[in-house]
Amino acid sequence: MTEDSLDKTGGRASALPLGAATPLLEMRAVTKRFGGVAALRNVDFSITEGEIHGLVGENGAGKSTMMKIIAGVHADFEGEMFVGGKPVHFRSAREALDAGIGMVHQELSVVPDLTVAENVFLGHQPVMAGGIVDWRKMNRTARTQIASLGLDIDPTTRMGALPVGLQQLVELSRVLFSGARIIILDEPTSALSPPEVERLFGVLRQLREQGRSLIFISHFLDDVLEISDRVTVFRNGERVATTAAAGLTKDEVISQMIGRGSAEMTMGEETELSGDDSRTVVMEVRNLSDGKGLADVSLAMRKGEIHGVYGFMGCGQIELSRALFGKGNLRNGEMILEGKPVKFRSTASARRAGIAYVPENRGMMLFRTEPVFKNVSISILERIAKIMLRPNAERRITMAHVEDLQIRPPDTDIDLGNLSGGNQQKVALAKWLTHLPKALILVEPTRGMDVGAKEDVIRIVKSLRDKGVAILVLSTEPETILTLADRVTVMKKGRVAREFATGHLEKADLLSAA
């Protein structure tokens, strides 16, 4: 059974399964704008009692915006929302929770240093006369609540001592304890091992049997198809399809997500890879593991080549990038730089070895309240100012980069925080241009930029490659990888899922491998 967003006559089709009773939650013609930009356009969505409803779409497709409306985070929107057949318009997350809607976020909100019971009752601890916490009652009730999910966990255990999978189930228990009938799960399997995923799915099926309704948001399409009753696909702020999961294939979902063959196809949808194994290996990692987000990861960065690493959020990209720059605590594996084993004890040691790093959060390496020239020159101060600072030399070097990279406004003395995000990214790259690094690690180099800024950054990165720098680009945006990479490694749940070195590569190939 397939229910597309448009029926054969061109009218809107219902988001409800055929013959369904009144939905527990329904959205009708919902539109949400940020400024003049519509993040959601005329969207219908529904979930019935005792249903697991999968929600998929690329980054920026509108999934998170829709869920934030349901959860009361975004109160300003057009359209209608109904819970139990009655119109509602939540003004806060508290109002949504009072109406029986709870959310388990991808970034868990547990408190590691508190006990399991304290986390279950966070903000709602039972008290005795005089306002004293009734610890015995809290531990007893928490044990019962957790056991209802089929878990045997000592409620006095420190939360941080539990594996991530169990922490997630404890947070789910907290949402259930609040009385939620509709539970939104945001990327619930992104950090879980296969056994933990199966345990979570067992709990979700149990909740479905109890009549709870679950919205399951995930980039992992195999997980969505396995656990969901229906699947809704978002693309470019619109609901493009709502389909029964039974009989639906992964390829069909991917086709709906990216609109293959439609007029919406854009640049960055495909590429011809040109990986060359004869190029000199500058940096290599073998069987890298950290016991958390990385498991047996191996890849090589070659001179004059851009190696793309693609995966969904939580796939291990961030852990890999930090490990390469001396920020991770590795348990196993080795790193080799120019043929020699290395162990970076700090970021300073990695930088001295010729490794450059631009993280996903530019604020981690830039000083927004300092002028542009200080942000650029800080990486070369020891070379040009061995005894005392030389601001004029710093400005002169910086101005050359400002002109070459077309940083706007072209002012070396303007505070960095006054620049746009794209121009701040150019400044971050300029730090490494005066003395080229051996290897450059870029995490989400074009995220959040307008088209013009993206084109400038892409040009800069490719020019560094052409100068012989070995570059690793890590991104959750397939367009970025397809536009930049000469070869691609796809990561999934902390491991290398697939490698592409030569030949034709499409966005659908990346999505399928991830």
421 with 441, same domain: the answer is no
Domain that residue 332 falls in: 270-365+437-513
The tens digit of pLDDT for each residue in 318-351 reads: 899 999 999 877 889 999 999 999 999 898 899 8
Residue 187's Cβ-count burial label (10 Å; 0-12, 13-18, 19+) is: buried
81 with 30, same domain: the answer is yes
Last residue within a domain, chosen from 248, 263, 278: 263
| CB-CB contact of 256 with 240 (8 Å) | yes
Question: pLDDT confidence of 268, banded at 50, 70, 90?
Answer: low
Read off the pTM. 0.63
78 with 2, same domain: the answer is yes
What's the pLDDT at 263? 36
What's the pLDDT at 455? 78
| CB-CB contact of 241 with 4 (8 Å) | yes
Question: pLDDT confidence of 18, banded at 50, 70, 90?
Answer: very low
Measured CA to CA, the distance from residue 475 to residue 446 in angstroms comes to 9
**Residue 121: pLDDT above 60?**
yes
What are the DSSP calls for 102-118, one per residue? EEE-SS----TTSBHHH
Token output for 125: 């601890």
**Residue 125: pLDDT above 80?**
yes
Residue 152's Cβ-count burial label (10 Å; 0-12, 13-18, 19+) is: exposed
What's the pLDDT at 226? 95
The tens digit of pLDDT for each residue in 39-65 reads: 899 999 999 999 999 999 876 788 888
335 with 445, same domain: the answer is yes
Whose CA is closest to 327, among 443, 429, 243, 420?
443
Measured CA to CA, the distance from residue 70 to residue 83 in angstroms comes to 10
Distant-in-sequence, close-in-space partners of 514: CB < 8 Å, separation ≥ 6: 219, 220, 310, 311, 312, 315, 490, 491, 492, 497
Token output for 404: 């070459």
Diameter of the chain by CA atoms? 80
Last residue within a domain, chosen from 388, 406, 430: 430
How many domains are contained in the chain?
Answer: 3
The tens digit of pLDDT for each residue in 191-246 reads: 676 777 888 899 899 999 999 999 999 878 889 999 999 999 998 889 999 999 99
90 with 2, same domain: the answer is yes
333 with 444, same domain: the answer is yes
Q: How much of the chain exceeds pLDDT 90, in percent? A: 43
The region that residue 123 occupies, defined by phi over 0 for left and psi between -120 and 50 for alpha, beta otherwise, is left
Strand bridging mode 332-337 / 487-492: unpaired
Measured CA to CA, the distance from residue 328 to residue 38 in angstroms comes to 39
Per DSSP, what are the bridge partners of residue 245?
none
235 with 318, same domain: the answer is no
What's the pLDDT at 6? 39
Per the prediction, the chain carries an average pLDDT of 85
What's the pLDDT at 36? 76
Last residue within a domain, chosen from 245, 263, 281: 263
**Residue 261: pLDDT above 70?**
no
